[in-house]
């Protein structure tokens, strides 16, 4: 069975083709076109620009994916698309294309929850004899738009146990990076600068430790109030330049970035005299986020008697987070499975994977099903 999936929930246009049979599955193509540069000058995603770019990129990526997969669209067995959560005008593009292809070729259509794509991504490639066993686990989904803890009992049996009450973890990375004059996306920039820094130098808050929910806005405010005390005042111009520098338009093919976002992080001028200060600040901020994510995830695994933790979403690319999650979990006899780094940020391979597993389990969607910008993963 061969599935073609489109992902257009936000500012990444992506197409993937995944083939699955009894012996496993094979990713035939995975194409991603990033629009970061197009939105950069506006300081955030502009929905209308995003949807126009999806319209431009999607047909090109469909061609590229089909030729990389050496397959014709008529040979695809099912067409899938992210149907939420996300920006309505963006979701609509991918879903309409997938529905059109399904109707045109008389094939099945599947509307997939973006968060289910992230949640299942740690299992991508790990199946035996074609059977992908989704072991019960506590799933930590950490991205630019979401921070949530989900108890996964099996495919489609998900219980949301915690979510952020304000900023998502990735959003905190992005906002703090902007505040200190670093580029966008902020997570990789902060991780890069945190290397060698002292994570104990600044004592940032770890909010809501007693709860399964998350809050990162206090941490962001703590950084904001600290900066003037350190005499750090990055200029808007500098922050914008840094962001634009790192926000190159990117096309990814088969999980390999051809136009890397990160070409080595540069130091904002306001830290030029004291690079150690920047490293300590980044390390202390990053550690505050990691402490919260690790503590809550392990506490949830223990509470629900689960010996597997999975992590996915853009922030789970963070090597220090993975390292500390592994160390802390192994001390409690808990296994950690992380999505492969190229599968952590938004892509269509994870949507194709979720669609393939759902098809095998007998699910499919109606082409009359609407997109849902607030599509809940679970109650």
Strands (E) in the chain, as ranges, are 2-7, 12-21, 24-34, 78-84, 108-113, 137-142, 147-154, 157-163, 251-253, 256-257, 308-312, 335-338
Q: How far is the C-alpha of 309 from the C-alpha of 247, rounded, in Å?
A: 32
- In the complex with Zn ion, the residue whose CB is nearer, 90 or 143, is 143
* Diameter over CA atoms, the chain: 64
116 makes contact with Zn ion (CB under 5 A): no
- The two structure tokens encoding residue 159: 């219980």
Residue 164 DSSP class? B
* One of 79, 109, 173, 285 touching ligand KG4 (CB under 6 A): 173
To ligand KG4, the closest distance from the beta carbon of 175 in angstroms equals: 9
Please work out, in degrees rounded to the nearest 5, the angle formed at the alpha carbon of residue 160 by the alpha carbons of 157 and 162.
155
Q: Which stretch binds Zn ion (CB under 5 A): 11-19, 135-143, 196-204, 367-375?
A: 135-143
315 makes contact with ligand KG4 (CB under 6 A): yes
- In the complex with ligand KG4, the residue whose CB is nearer, 185 or 338, is 185
Number of residues lying near ligand KG4 (CB under 6 A): 18
Q: Which stretch binds ligand KG4 (CB under 6 A): 60-68, 242-250, 313-321, 355-363?
A: 313-321
- In the complex with Zn ion, the residue whose CB is nearer, 143 or 284, is 143
> Which residue has tokens 């979990």?
329
Q: How far is the C-alpha of 172 from the C-alpha of 351, rounded, in Å?
A: 26
314 makes contact with ligand KG4 (CB under 6 A): yes
Q: Which does 183 bind (CB under 5 to 8 A by kind): ligand KG4, Zn ion, none?
A: none
188 makes contact with ligand KG4 (CB under 6 A): yes
- Residue 33 makes CB contacts below 8 A (sequence gap 6+) with 12, 13, 14, 53, 57, 60, 61, 249, 250, 251, 252
Strand order across the 335-338 sheet: 157-163, 147-154, 137-142, 308-312, 335-338
- In the complex with Zn ion, the residue whose CB is nearer, 143 or 215, is 143
* One of 222, 317, 328, 351 touching ligand KG4 (CB under 6 A): 317
Here's the x/- map for ligand KG4, 334-373, by CB under 6 A: it reads as -----------xx---------------------------
Q: Which stretch binds Zn ion (CB under 5 A): 70-78, 81-89, 143-151, 254-262?
A: 143-151
143 makes contact with Zn ion (CB under 5 A): yes
8 makes contact with Zn ion (CB under 5 A): no
Q: How far is the C-alpha of 68 from the C-alpha of 151, rounded, in Å?
A: 36
Evaluated on CA atoms 159, 353, 24, 358, the torsion sign reads: positive
180 makes contact with ligand KG4 (CB under 6 A): no
To ligand KG4, the closest distance from the beta carbon of 316 in angstroms equals: 8
Cβ-contact 181, 271 below 8 angstroms: yes
| CB burial of residue 60 (10 Å; 0-12, 13-18, 19+) | middle
* One of 3, 286, 346, 350 touching Zn ion (CB under 5 A): 346
144 makes contact with ligand KG4 (CB under 6 A): yes
Q: Kindly give the pairing relationship between strand 137-142 and strand 147-154.
A: antiparallel
Closest C-alpha among 172, 182, 205, 206 to residue 278: 182
Here's the x/- map for Zn ion, 294-333, by CB under 5 A: it reads as ----------------------------------------
Site residues (CB under 5 A) for Zn ion?
A: 143, 346
Site residues (CB under 6 A) for ligand KG4?
A: 143-145, 170, 173-174, 185-188, 191, 313-315, 317-318, 345-346
């Amino acid at each position: 069975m061969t599935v073609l999936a489109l992902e257009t929930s936000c500012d990444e246009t992506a197409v993937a083709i995944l083939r699955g049979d009894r012996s496993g599955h094979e990713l035939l193509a995975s194409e991603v076109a990033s629009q970061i540069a197009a939105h950069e000058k506006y300081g955030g995603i502009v929905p209308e620009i995003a949807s126009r770019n999806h319209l431009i990129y999607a047909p090109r990526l469909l061609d590229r994916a089909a030729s990389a997969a050496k397959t014709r669209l008529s040979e695809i067995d099912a067409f899938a698309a992210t149907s939420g959560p996300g920006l309505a005008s963006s979701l609509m593009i991918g879903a309409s294309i997938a529905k059109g292809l399904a109707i045109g070729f008389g094939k099945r259509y599947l509307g997939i929850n973006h968060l289910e794509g992230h949640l299942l991504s740690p299992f991508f490639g790990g199946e035996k004899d074609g059977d992908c066993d989704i072991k019960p686990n506590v799933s930590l989904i950490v991205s630019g738009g979401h921070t949530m803890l989900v108890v996964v009992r099996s495919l489609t049996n998900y219980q949301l146990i915690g979510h952020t009450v304000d900023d998502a973890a990735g959003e905190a990375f992005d906002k703090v990076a902007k505040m200190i004059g670093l580029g966008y996306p902020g997570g990789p920039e902060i991780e890069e600068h945190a290397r060698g820094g002292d994570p104990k130098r600044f004592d940032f808050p770890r909010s809501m430790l007693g709860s399964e929910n998350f809050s990162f806005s206090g941490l962001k405010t703590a950084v904001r109030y600290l900066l003037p005390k350190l005499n750090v005042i990055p200029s808007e111009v500098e922050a914008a330049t840094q962001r634009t520098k790192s926000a190159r338009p990117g096309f990814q093919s088969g999980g390999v970035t051809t136009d890397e976002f990160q070409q080595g992080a540069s130091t904002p001028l306001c830290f030029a005299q004291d690079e150690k200060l920047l490293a300590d600040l980044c390390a202390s901020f990053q550690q505050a986020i990691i402490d919260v994510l690790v503590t809550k995830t392990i506490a949830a695994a223990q509470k629900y008697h689960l010996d597997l933790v999975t992590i996915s979403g853009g922030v789970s690319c963070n090597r220090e987070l993975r390292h500390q999650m592994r160390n802390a979990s192994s001390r409690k006899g808990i296994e950690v499975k992380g999505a492969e780094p190229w599968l952590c940020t938004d892509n269509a391979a994870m949507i194709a994977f979720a669609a393939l597993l759902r098809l095998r389990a007998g699910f499919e969607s109606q082409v009359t099903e609407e997109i849902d910008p607030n599509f809940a993963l679970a109650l």
